[in-house]
Amino acid sequence: KHILLLGAPGAGKGTQSKRLADEFDLEHVTTGDALRANKGMDISHLDFEYDTPREYMDAGELVPDDVVNEIVKTALQEADGYVLDGYPRNLDQAEYLTEITDLDAVVYLDVSEEELVDRLTGRRVCPDCGANYHVEFAPPEEKGVCDECGSPLVQREDDTEETVRERLSVYHENTEPVVDHYRDEGVLAEVNGEQTPDEVFEDVTAAVEDA
Ligand code: AP5
Ligand code: ZN
């Protein structure tokens, strides 16, 4: 299966993608994680505004398409089935995606702006195994410690209130048109993302099976 999961920053794409990948035995392809793993990559030869992905990410801006497209192309070529999360984020990326693959299901997680800010500023992540928590909505058993591997949890550098606001504004301007594009094509399954993670997962699974 080829599944695309769309949604604003904090909508729960990462949370649901991991579960989908387990459930359907798919590769979880996420540009956010891929870029975080390559934050220091030297892209100065490409003549963009900044020399590394880190500078874009910490500002809440999009990393240039050429860099991201290449990452996605390679990852999708290596994957049999996949859940794609964090891409496409603008119409040019959506067009590129159409050129390199086909999609079986496109699912959009709908969450209100206020809830997104709460989720992102309260998120904590494990730097070692990638597990995701929330100080209020999904706390670990022991405060500040990963349930899976015992490592101390950290806040993502772009989860400060100021950067969150910038990410949301970039989302409205660049990524909402992508959601509209798939909706206009009649392929978008819309799920209420403001339910418990289990309920959201149930709806997402149903949408994928119906597609
Ligand atoms: P990326 O890592 O993709 O971040 P994002 O899209 O902003 O999404 P998030 O990871 O913040 O949120 P999520 O939807 O995965 O939510 P999560 O499940 O964690 O991108 C980061 C940066 O990389 C970008 O700003 C950009 O610079 C760059 N980048 C990435 N892709 C790019 C591209 N294609 N082009 C250019 N640049 C790119 O959940 C959030 C929190 O809520 C967690 O704490 C979780 O525990 C909690 N939560 C989840 N579900 C629920 C629920 N149902 N109820 C209550 N709480 C919940
Ligand atoms: Zn961990």
The CATH code of the domain that includes 45 is: 3.40.50.300
What is the average pLDDT across 171-188?
98
pTM: 0.94
Determine the distance separating the centroid of ligand 1 and the alpha carbon of 12, expressed in angstroms: 7
Determine the distance separating the centroid of ligand 1 and the alpha carbon of 11, expressed in angstroms: 7
Q: Rounded CA gap, 81 and 105, in Å?
A: 12
Q: Is the CB of 19 under 6 A from ligand 1?
A: no
In a domain? residue 154: no
Atom of ligand 1 nearest to the CA of 196: 53
* Residue nearest (by alpha carbon) to ligand 1 atom 42: 119
In a domain? residue 10: yes
Grade residue 48 by pLDDT with cuts at 50, 70 and 90: confident
On whether the CB atoms of residues 87 and 97 are closer than 8 A, the answer is yes
Domain housing 49: 2-112+174-210
On whether the CB atoms of residues 75 and 29 are closer than 8 A, the answer is yes
In a domain? residue 151: no
Pick the closest to residue 137 from 122, 153, 157 (CA basis): 122
The Cβ-side half-sphere exposure at 66, using a 13 Å CA radius, reads: 7
Bridge partners of residue 85, in order along the sequence: 5, 30
* Residue nearest (by alpha carbon) to ligand 1 atom 21: 32
State the total domains in the chain.
Answer: 1
Determine the distance separating the centroid of ligand 1 and the alpha carbon of 167, expressed in angstroms: 10
The overall average pLDDT reported for the chain is 95
Q: Rounded CA gap, 117 and 165, in Å?
A: 8
Q: Please tell me the predicted confidence (pLDDT) of residue 115.
A: 95
Q: pLDDT tens for residues 109-129?
A: 999 999 999 999 999 999 999
In a domain? residue 75: yes
Question: Is the predicted pLDDT of residue 46 greater than 90, yes or no?
Answer: no
